Structure 1
Amino acid sequence: MSDLTVAPHERGVLRLFTLDMRPEEAKFLREPGAADQVLGVDGLDPSHIDIFPVSDLEELGLYGYMTEGCGVSAGQLDRNALASVDGWVMVLRSAAFNGHPATLNPDPRLRLIGLFTEEATNWTGGIIETESAKPFSAPQTVTAGDTPRRVGSAILALVALVVIGGILWLIL
Structure 2
Amino acid sequence: MTIQIPENDFGQIRVFAIDGPLSKPVLDKTPDGLRQLLGTDALDPTFIDIVKVDDLGPMQLSDYIAQGYDIPTADHDLAAVNGIEGFAILILSSAAGGQAVTLRPANGVRHITTYVPDARLTPVQPLTAKSAEGIIADPPAKPAKSDARIGGMIAMYALIAMFLLVGLMIWVAG
- Normalised by the length of structure 2, the TM-score is 0.67
Q: Give the Å deviation of 1:125.
A: 3.3
Aligned-pair identity (%): 25
How many Å apart are 1:104 and its aligned residue? 1.1
**Matched residue SS, 1:78:** helix
Alignment of 1:93-132 (within 5 A): 93-120=92-119, 122=121, 125-132=124-131
* In 1: Cα distance, 2:134 partner to 2:85 partner: 58
- Asked whether the equivalents of residues 26 and 88 of structure 1 are also in contact (C-alpha less than 8 Å), the reply is no
Structure 1 residue identity aligned to 2:93 = S
Q: Is the 8 A contact 1:4 1:103 kept in 2?
A: yes
Asked if structure 2 preserves the Cα contact closer than 8 Å seen for 1:29 and 1:51, the reply is yes
Alignment match, 2:52: 53
User: Any conservation in 2 of the 1:51–1:88 contact (CA below 8 Å)?
Assistant: yes
- Matched-pair contact (CA < 8 Å) for 1:29–1:35: no
Offset, 1:129: 4.2
The residue aligned with 2:71 is 72
Structure 1, unmatched stretches of 5+, are: 156-172
Q: 2:29 aligns with which of 17, 28, 31?
A: 31
Shift of 1:133: 4.0
- Deviation track 1:88-118 (CA, whole Å, cap 9, x = no partner) reads 1100111100111122111112111112212
Task: Give the total of aligned pairs.
Answer: 148
- In the TM superposition, residue 131 of structure 1 has moved relative to its aligned partner by 3.7
User: Contact 1:19/1:87 (CA < 8 Å) preserved in 2?
Assistant: yes
AA partner of residue 116 (structure 1)? Y
Aligned to 1:112, the other structure's residue is in SS state strand
Q: Which residue of the partner structure matches residue 13 of structure 2?
A: 14
Distance (whole Å) between structure 2 residues aligned to residue 49 and residue 81 of structure 1: 20
